[in-house]
């Protein structure tokens, strides 16, 4: 509404200003107003300054006229009383409407139906779906515009209000005060149970919570205010020490219903960074710049997670009781497949080290042992019962059920045995001399066996009689026999060929399987014959004639020992670390994990949503796939130890022991050498600092910086006669822990290292990490942990039980945990000097490494390389890198059963978890966490966020997928508006402008934080014509914003016209005024835009007829 300013003086004699006083006052005020205008300078301030000048001019004219009449008593200069006269010396018509108006009760103009909007003009837009939106081309171009028809309000209309009705909230912050957006046609968001809403628009602390809970945030360190955000401004965090802290409050704790969101733009990536964390729930970005959402359940339960290590080859497979069983060579054990990549160890066959055959007989599972020559029957659980040795055999290579009995082929001078119950085996005679029985099959009611060394097949004809039915070409070994489509087929060794039996002693060559030299297994599957090969590790499908089609290699296997159909799918067992593969069609084989013996685990790190373990003794790194087990990612050259892992530039690096070479993981078992740092033989520690990779070595206590390719630059010796066993980044500096001296050193650039003190009487420092804004170090020889308090001061926080070594430290659930050599125990820090044991991990004596992954602590031990988890929780990871110089919308939700991660409005990943969220009294941290989430490499430093954050929110309820998408689409879709008032009917005399009167500004919903639709107060000149422009933008070529309606409201001027110009110069100048004032905007002296009239009661009134910015200026006296 217009603010009408009436200024009236009482009708009594008041001492008048002198002319000099008036001139001085006007001049001083004019100068002061000009100074203010120059200092501020927007259009609004200019208009306000001109209005101030008009008030002074009106007052000056009124005072001078009043004084003239007092002095002259001249009542005849006005020909008509109570009538307005324009002041000026123009001889032409001086009539003008002079800001006299009345309010209109309803919108003067409405665009709503297609017929209304069709009168405007479209640019890559159209009327569709009840409003104006982008057309196909506009969506592709991500922008379009709409120009309304030109509205004719006449000379008497004031354009006051412009109301818009977008279909959904566009370019708009979430509503404040837990409000709802019910006035939009669709996609309005309800803020019920909103616990936190930070717009981050402030220019100083505190950060105001705009939810209904008052959870304001304080600032720790230095942040940059007023940075460009996704909606208005954002806050920039330095990634070193700056973060925001919100005091613990019940509204921020929820056991089974939670939603979090943040808009984040990364400045410096390559490290774990926390967007917000309350210890039991966190929204973070991993060191590969991919976001994740973590929930902790609160327990400290210890669970065995498996072991990485050297596994067995799979020599035999069988389906028994609807489950798949595999037999592993070298460890003599049988494993049952549980789905995914999960295998259950069903036990070892006595002291057997090889298992070449499995068979089902009389509803039970039997296995033939290697090295013992004994057959075992499976009785469930881990129980395999010895049912006797077959003569003097040491290997049972094949078994078959024939004529209701169990038969076994051995290496005992080519004999076959029949099982007669209990531990009794009856010899059926020698098939041939100097041979072994490697394969058996039932064909046309007879038992056939394939031999080793002779390359011949024999038919059993009863008693001890075996009939030679021919040789398979020039082959010497027959590892496989199978019946397919009514024919008997045999696979040969030496020439890699398959033969079809044609009766008598005739075998027809049906071709070679690629370049293979061994055919280990044949199987009939889906109407085709498949063959498993040796030397190439490939499987082939028989396509008739002599044609075999390669259907792919099974991982990195060189031998495929067994093929079997299970649940309608084809599986193969290999020599490659005991891996079993499932055939997925064409040439694709999927690993189902492996099993076997492991090594000591010296390093753990979470990378790319997976846990990686570096082993001691094998020099290999293994990837943990949850229930799928551990997958060998390869060996680091010829290294036998992997002491350190780090993530640098989005890739995984490992530090080798024995060679001192660092390797970079390129995937698919490929570790590429990145060079040797100096003369090091061991790389003990790694850290990413200032955008570079640093390693600590045993090379005379030197630290090296990786400069690309195979180049390493020495940064000097931190101390003499030492090794660098640990490193951490803290407050923008790199710190290194020394071996033998027990001291910590700070890197100060070049080759300069500053001694920052010793950890008590410790001689070794195996671990350094950041927790709750401080460095903590684990002492070797003392078993104590120390906190760094600056200078050279380290405060003793206590001993971990009876430990003498603290191998690793990690932050989990807002607490500090330490791994020790005290009976393989892990301890939790309870403050002061108190550490509480959370238990022993298996039968280990040492726990060497700790890392947080999937909502749990994972610990690598000395107990045969077993890995254990501590706690319960879950994490969902995105596979999208968000270090893209843009704001990304990250949200996490939990409903008591499932947690989900959303990236830019789309569900990225989900996981079941029913344990609930642990309640805690920790403060909520924005832009940081309580400490390092890993005990290795690039994750041991602080998790302070480096970049920009905007619109942080927490709900104590679960947002649905539609809610998340609607919130994201606020940034994807936008409507912005400009208006213009015009003097001519085609509006060629005016430009479109926003609220500051320039073409660079727009009206929008950016600051509309309520639930109501936007109404814009217009600040434009009163001219007859009006037009608006709508700019439509979309970042998604499938979506468009839609404008459903507009309304234009205002006030109507009365039809009042002033008389001819009235020249006051001869009356007032120069005795009462130095000159007649003119309007500060027009500068016109012959048409001043000031009007005067004499009232009936002898008083006078003066009015400005060109007032701006809703002000009506009139003075009377």
* Dist. CA 73–CA 748, nearest whole Å: 90
598 pLDDT above the threshold of 50: no
Residue-level pLDDT at 346:
75
Higher pLDDT, 866 or 501: 501
* Dist. CA 26–CA 23, nearest whole Å: 5
931 pLDDT above the threshold of 90: no
- The torsion of the CA quartet 809, 811, 816, 820, rounded to 10 degrees, works out to -30
**Domain-wise residue ranges, the chain:** 3-100+1056-1116, 103-173+971-1053, 194-299+876-956, 328-591, 600-713+720-864
Residue-level pLDDT at 580:
81
In the predicted model, what is the mean pLDDT of the chain? 85
144 half-sphere exposure, CB direction, 13 A CA radius: 26
Whether a cis peptide bond, with omega within 30° of 0, leads into 1070 is: yes
Question: Residue 392, class by beta-carbon neighbours within 10 Å (0-12 exposed, 13-18 middle, 19+ buried)?
Answer: exposed
CA angle 641, 642, 645 (to 5 degrees): 170
Burial code (b: 16+ CB inside 10 Å, e: under 16) for 827-855 equals bbbeeeeebebbebbbebbbbbbbbbbbb
Residue-level pLDDT at 224:
95
φ, ψ at 409 (rounded to 5°): -105, 140
The three-state DSSP-derived secondary structure of 1014-1030 is CEEECCCCCCCEEEEEE
CATH class of the domain whose range is 600-713+720-864: mainly beta
Higher pLDDT, 254 or 394: 254
pLDDT digits over 621-646, tens only?
777 766 656 666 777 788 777 888 88
Question: What element of type H or E holds 114?
Answer: helix 114-117
Helices (H), 320-402: none
The three-state DSSP-derived secondary structure of 824-863 is CEEEEECCCCCEEEEEECCCCCCEEEEEEECCEEEEEECC
pLDDT band at 319 (very low <50, low <70, confident <90, very high): low
3-class DSSP state for residue 819? Answer: strand
Alpha-carbon torsion (134, 140, 141, 142), positive or negative: positive
Residue-level pLDDT at 531:
93
Token pair in block for residue 923: 């403060």
- For domain 328-591, which CATH number applies: 1.10.420.10, 2.40.50.140, 2.120.10.80, 3.60.90.10? 2.120.10.80
pLDDT band at 1021 (very low <50, low <70, confident <90, very high): confident
Question: What element of type H or E holds 238?
Answer: strand 233-238
- Give how far the C-alpha of residue 741 lies from the chain's centroid of Cα atoms, to the nearest Å: 41
CA angle 981, 985, 990 (to 5 degrees): 40
Mean per-residue pLDDT for 170-186?
Answer: 93
Residue-level pLDDT at 600:
60
391 pLDDT above the threshold of 80: yes
8 Å CB contact between 714 and 707:
no
User: What are the residues facing 529 on neighbouring strands?
Assistant: 524
8 Å CB contact between 933 and 943:
yes
Asked, colleague to colleague, whether 194-299+876-956 and 600-713+720-864 share their fold, the answer is: no
8 Å CB contact between 527 and 512:
no
Picking from 719, 722, 718, 758, the residue whose alpha carbon sits closest to that of residue 734 is 718
- For domain 103-173+971-1053, which CATH number applies: 2.60.120, 2.40.170, 2.120.10, 3.30.70? 2.60.120
pLDDT digits over 747-797, tens only?
999 999 999 999 999 999 989 999 999 999 998 899 999 999 999 999 999
Question: What element of type H or E holds 334?
Answer: strand 333-337
Token pair in block for residue 407: 């038969």
* Dist. CA 504–CA 377, nearest whole Å: 37
* Dist. CA 556–CA 578, nearest whole Å: 11
Residue-level pLDDT at 9:
26
Beta strands in 485-591 (DSSP E): 487-493, 497-501, 507-512, 518-525, 528-534, 538-542, 548-553, 560-566, 569-574, 580-583, 589-591
* Dist. CA 172–CA 187, nearest whole Å: 12
Characterise 1109 by phi-psi region: left (phi > 0), alpha (psi -120 to 50), beta (else): left
Residue-level pLDDT at 2:
27
607 pLDDT above the threshold of 80: no
pLDDT digits over 546-588, tens only?
999 999 998 888 888 888 888 888 888 887 656 788 899 888 8
Beta strands in 938-1042 (DSSP E): 946-955, 973-982, 1015-1017, 1025-1034
* Dist. CA 828–CA 814, nearest whole Å: 11
What's the predicted TM-score (pTM) here? 0.66
Residue 678: partners with Cβ closer than 8 Å, 6 or more residues away:
660, 697, 699, 702, 704, 712, 714
- For domain 194-299+876-956, which CATH number applies: 3.20.20.70, 2.60.120.200, 3.40.50.150, 2.40.50.100? 2.60.120.200
11 pLDDT above the threshold of 60: no
* Least confident piece of the model among 433-447, 507-521, 621-635, 940-954: 621-635
Residue 340: partners with Cβ closer than 8 Å, 6 or more residues away:
592, 593, 626, 627, 628
């Amino acid at each position: 509404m217009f603010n009408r300013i009436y200024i009236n003086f009482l009708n009594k004699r008041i001492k008048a200003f002198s002319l000099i006083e008036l001139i001085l006052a006007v001049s001083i005020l004019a100068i002061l107003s000009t100074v203010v205008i120059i200092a501020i300078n927007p259009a609004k301030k200019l208009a306000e300054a001109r209005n101030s000048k008009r008030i002074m001019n009106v007052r000056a004219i009124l005072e001078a006229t009043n004084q003239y009449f007092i002095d002259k008593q001249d009542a005849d200069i006005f020909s008509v009383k109570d009538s307005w006269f324009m002041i000026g010396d123009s001889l032409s018509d001086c009539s003008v409407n002079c800001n006299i108006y009345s309010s209109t009760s309803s919108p003067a103009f409405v665009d709503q139906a297609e017929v209304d909007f069709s009168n405007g003009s479209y640019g890559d837009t159209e009327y569709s779906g009840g409003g104006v939106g982008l057309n196909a081309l506009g969506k592709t171009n991500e922008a379009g515009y709409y120009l309304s028809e030109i509205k004719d309000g006449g000379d008497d209309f004031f354009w006051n209000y412009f109301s818009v009705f977008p279909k959904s909230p566009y370019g708009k912050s979430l509503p404040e005060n837990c409000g709802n957006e019910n006035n939009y046609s669709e996609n309005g968001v309800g803020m019920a149970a909103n616990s936190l809403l930070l717009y981050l628009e402030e220019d100083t602390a505190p950060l105001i919570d705009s939810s209904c809970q008052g959870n304001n945030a304080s600032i720790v360190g230095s942040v940059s205010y007023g940075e460009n955000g996704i909606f208005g401004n954002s806050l920039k965090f330095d990634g070193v020490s700056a973060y925001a802290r919100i005091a613990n409050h019940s509204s921020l704790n929820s056991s089974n219903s939670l939603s979090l969101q943040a808009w984040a733009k990364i400045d410096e990536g390559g490290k774990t960074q926390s967007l917000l964390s309350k210890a039991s729930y966190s929204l973070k970005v991993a060191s590969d710049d991919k976001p994740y959402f973590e929930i902790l359940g609160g327990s400290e339960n210890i669970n065995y997670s498996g072991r990485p290590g050297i596994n067995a080859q799979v020599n035999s497979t069988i389906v028994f009781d609807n489950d798949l069983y595999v037999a592993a060579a070298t460890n003599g054990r049988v494993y049952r497949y549980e789905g995914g990549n999960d295998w259950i160890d069903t036990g070892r066959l006595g002291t057997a080290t090889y298992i070449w055959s499995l068979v089902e007989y009389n509803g039970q599972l039997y296995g033939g042992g290697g090295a013992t020559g004994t057959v075992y029957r499976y009785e469930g659980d881990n129980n395999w019962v010895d049912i006797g040795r077959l003569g003097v055999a040491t290997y049972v290579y094949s078994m078959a059920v024939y004529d209701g009995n169990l038969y076994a082929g051995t290496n005992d001078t080519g004999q076959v045995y029949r099982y007669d119950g209990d531990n009794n085996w009856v010899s059926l005679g020698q098939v041939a001399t100097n041979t072994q029985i490697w394969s058996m099959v039932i064909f046309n009611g007879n038992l056939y066996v394939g031999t080793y060394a002779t390359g011949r097949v024999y038919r059993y004809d009863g008693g001890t009689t075996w009939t030679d039915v021919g040789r398979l070409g020039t082959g010497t070994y027959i590892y496989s026999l199978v019946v397919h489509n009514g024919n008997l087929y045999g696979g040969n060794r030496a020439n890699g060929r398959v033969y079809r039996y044609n009766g008598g002693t005739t075998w027809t060559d049906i071709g070679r399987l690629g370049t293979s030299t061994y055919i280990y297994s044949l199987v009939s599957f889906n109407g085709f014959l498949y063959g498993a090969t040796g030397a190439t590790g490939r499987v082939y499908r028989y396509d008739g004639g002599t044609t075999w089609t390669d259907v792919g290699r099974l991982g990195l296997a060189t031998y495929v020992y067994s093929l079997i159909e299970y649940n309608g799918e084809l599986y193969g067992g290999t020599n490659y670390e005991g891996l079993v593969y499932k055939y997925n069609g064409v040439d694709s084989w999927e690993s189902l994990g492996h099993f076997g013996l492991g090594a000591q685990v010296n390093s753990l790190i979470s990378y790319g949503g997976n846990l990686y373990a570096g082993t001691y003794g094998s020099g290999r790194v293994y990837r943990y796939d949850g229930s799928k087990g551990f997958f060998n990612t390869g060996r680091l050259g010829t290294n036998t130890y992997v002491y350190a892992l780090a993530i640098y530039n989005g890739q995984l690096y490992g530090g080798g022991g024995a060679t001192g070479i660092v390797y970079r993981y390129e995937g698919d078992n490929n570790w590429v050498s990145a060079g040797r740092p100096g003369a090091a033989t061991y790389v003990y520690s790694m850290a990413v600092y200032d955008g570079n990779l640093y390693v600590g070595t045993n090379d005379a206590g030197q630290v090296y910086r990786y400069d690309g390719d195979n180049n390493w630059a020495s940064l000097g010796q931190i101390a003499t006669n030492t090794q660098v066993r640990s490193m951490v980044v803290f407050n923008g500096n790199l710190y290194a822990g020394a071996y033998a001296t027990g001291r910590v050193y700070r890197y100060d650039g070049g080759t300069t290292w500053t001694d920052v003190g010793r950890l008590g009487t410790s001689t070794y420092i195996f671990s350094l990490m950041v927790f709750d804004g401080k460095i903590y170090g684990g002492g070797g020889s003392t078993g104590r942990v120390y906190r760094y308090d600056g200078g050279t001061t380290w405060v003793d926080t206590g001993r971990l039980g009876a430990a003498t070594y603290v191998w690793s430290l990690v932050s989990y659930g807002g607490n500090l945990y330490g791994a020790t050599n005290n009976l393989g125990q892990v301890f939790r820090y309870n403050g002061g000097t108190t550490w509480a044991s959370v238990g022993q991990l298996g039968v280990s004596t040492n726990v060497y490494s700790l890392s947080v992954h999937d909502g749990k602590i994972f610990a690598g031990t000395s107990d045969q390389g077993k890995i254990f988890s501590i706690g319960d929780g879950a994490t969902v990871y995105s596979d999208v890198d968000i270090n893209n110089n843009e704001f990304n919308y990250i949200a996490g939700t939990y409903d008591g059963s499932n947690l989900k991660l959303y990236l830019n409005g789309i569900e990225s990943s989900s996981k079941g978890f029913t344990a609930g969220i642990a309640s805690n009294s920790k403060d909520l941290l924005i832009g940081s966490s309580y400490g390092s989430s890993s005990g290795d490499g690039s994750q041991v430093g602080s998790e302070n966020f480096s970049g920009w954050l905007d619109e942080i929110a927490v709900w104590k309820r679960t947002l649905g997928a539609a809610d998340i998408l609607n919130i994201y689409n606020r940034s994807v879709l936008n409507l912005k508006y400009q208006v213009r008032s015009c003097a001519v009917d085609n509006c060629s005399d005016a430009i479109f402008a926003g609220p500051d009167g320039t073409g660079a500004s727009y009206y929008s919903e950016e600051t509309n934080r309520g639930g109501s639709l936007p109404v814009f107060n217009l600040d434009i000149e009163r001219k007859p014509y009006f037009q608006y422009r709508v700019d439509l933008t979309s970042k998604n070529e499938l979506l468009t914003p839609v404008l459903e309606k507009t309304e234009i409201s205002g006030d109507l001027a009365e039809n009042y016209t002033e008389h001819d110009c009235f020249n006051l110069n001869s009356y007032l100048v120069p005795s009462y005024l130095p000159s007649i004032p003119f309007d500060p905007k027009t500068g016109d002296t012959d048409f001043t835009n000031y009007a005067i009239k004499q009232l009936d009661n002898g008083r006078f009134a003066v009015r400005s007829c060109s007032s701006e910015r809703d002000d009506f200026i009139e003075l009377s006296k």
